[in-house]
Amino acid sequence: MTTMTVELGERSYPISVEANLLSQASLLSPYIEKKRVVVVSNQTVADLYADKLGTILGQVKYDLILMPDGEQYKNLQTFEQVIGELLTLGAGRDTILIALGGGVVGDLTGYVAASFQRGIPFIQIPTTLLAQVDSSVGGKTAVNHPLGKNMIGAFYQPKAVVIDTTTLSTLPDREFAAGMAEVIKYGIIYDLAFFEWLEQNKQKLMDKDPDALAYAISRSCEIKAEIVALDERESGIRALLNLGHTFGHAIEAEQGYGNWLHGEAVAAGMILAAKASEAKEWLEASETRRIVDLLSVFELPLDKPEGMGFTAFMKHMRHDKKVAAGQIRFILPQGLGKAVVTSDLSESLLTELLN
């Protein structure tokens, strides 16, 4: 088992990565001792994995709350539903929540945990690639508002992240590809050697080779843990994790939540960011090509949605959480393996890029 730690003083927590971790008896015992356990999931994931919880929880009794499946349900209505069910169950401050599912379940459960009776502990058991390499680590919890993605939320760290790579065997290919977009992101913003490793191992990853997958997940978590430890609340370096997200969140909101997967929108957004960098001579055309080639292996979208232009992007990007002093801030690569935050994108460049 590979174990990493997100170093945040007394709020530090482990990330464990291994195949078949859900079959590891009593792995969660240290966290759930003397606690009432409530698992939050959705029907899709519960049908596949809820029976394994008995093993990992060491036969401790638990309640299960099911939320509807889909990005369009990561909202205040579902938040209220889950809180209502917790109250009906009589849950209190002695309760620990376990998020079993993808990023939607994880983000919403985390925000419920941050808010329920002013905060109860929670554990992340991510079951999509995207959640395993990104959303389960770092404590960003949120729900969407019709006017913007993740507009309501809190920084609230889990007590542990348990990644069973075997769960990816049931994940639809489109969801797997969306997760690969976030994996590739780490290479572009932070680690040229990892980007090169991804180029060399793309076929193994496509074939879901267990060792290649375990390495890609562990390295992604390691990079994220390092960045979060340096800047938990995103006042500096953590913003780099949003490469492609300023454009991507606009695509998700404009297309209707759930129509473009988050990772797909990020892939198209990263290419827009690369093209902007190229226009500023921060990236060679050959480097943009390498990004496009790697994303295309996983059949990710390589362009913005047809018909979505400057005006539609700007409508959403003005609400972006990275807007500071009225300026939209973008993450742009500066060569491969390095990125910067900048507001210095002229309207004419944006118009050319987005129209």
* Active centre residues (catalytic): 118, 140, 182, 224, 234, 238, 242, 245, 249, 262
Alpha-carbon distance of 225 to 218, in angstroms, equals 10
Mark 224-253 with x for binding to ligand GLY (rule: CB under 6 A) and - for no binding. --------------x--xx-----------
Residue number with CB closer to ligand NAD (128 or 246) = 128
Alpha-carbon distance of 338 to 273, in angstroms, equals 13
Please state the closest distance from residue 109 (CB atom) to ligand GLY, in A: 16
Nearest to 206 by CA among 168, 257, 160: 168
Tokens of 45: 């994931």
Bridge partner list, 160: 123
Tokens of 25: 């008896």
Binding-site partner at residue 124 among ligand NAD, ligand GLY, none, CB < 5 to 8 Å by type: none
CB 135 within 8 A of CB 98: no
Which stretch in 60-68, 94-102, 134-142, 312-320 sits in contact with ligand GLY by CB under 6 A? Answer: 134-142
Burial grade of 147 (CB within 10 A; 0-12, 13-18, 19 or more): exposed
By CB under 6 A, is residue 52 in contact with ligand GLY?
no
Q: Please name the residue that has the structure tokens 């040229």.
A: 192
In sequence order, the 6+-apart residues with CB closer than 8 A to the CB of 294 are 184, 195, 198, 199, 202
By CB under 6 A, is residue 134 in contact with ligand GLY?
yes
Please state the closest distance from residue 138 (CB atom) to ligand GLY, in A: 4
Nearest to 63 by CA among 33, 93, 94, 95: 95
Please state the closest distance from residue 135 (CB atom) to ligand GLY, in A: 7
Nearest to 238 by CA among 223, 251, 248, 250: 223
Nearest residue to ligand GLY by CB is 241
Alpha-carbon distance of 184 to 40, in angstroms, equals 29
By CB under 6 A, is residue 222 in contact with ligand GLY?
no
Residue number with CB closer to ligand NAD (193 or 230) = 230
Residue number with CB closer to ligand GLY (86 or 266) = 266
Q: Residue numbers of the site for ligand NAD (CB under 6 A)? A: 42, 44-45, 48, 69, 71, 74, 101-105, 107, 127-128, 130-131, 134-135, 138, 140, 150, 167, 170-171, 175, 178, 262-263
Residue number with CB closer to ligand NAD (55 or 150) = 150
Binding-site partner at residue 153 among ligand NAD, ligand GLY, none, CB < 5 to 8 Å by type: none
CB 270 within 8 A of CB 167: no
* DSSP character string of 223-243: HHHHHHHH-TT-SSGGGGGGT
* Size of the chain in residues: 355
Alpha-carbon distance of 93 to 117, in angstroms, equals 7
Residue number with CB closer to ligand NAD (173 or 344) = 173
Binding-site partner at residue 48 among ligand NAD, ligand GLY, none, CB < 5 to 8 Å by type: ligand NAD
Residue number with CB closer to ligand NAD (75 or 201) = 75
Considering only residues 135 through 154, tell me which ones interact with ligand GLY, judged by CB under 6 A.
Answer: 138, 140
Question: Binding residues for ligand GLY, per CB under 6 A?
Answer: 134, 138, 140, 238, 241-242
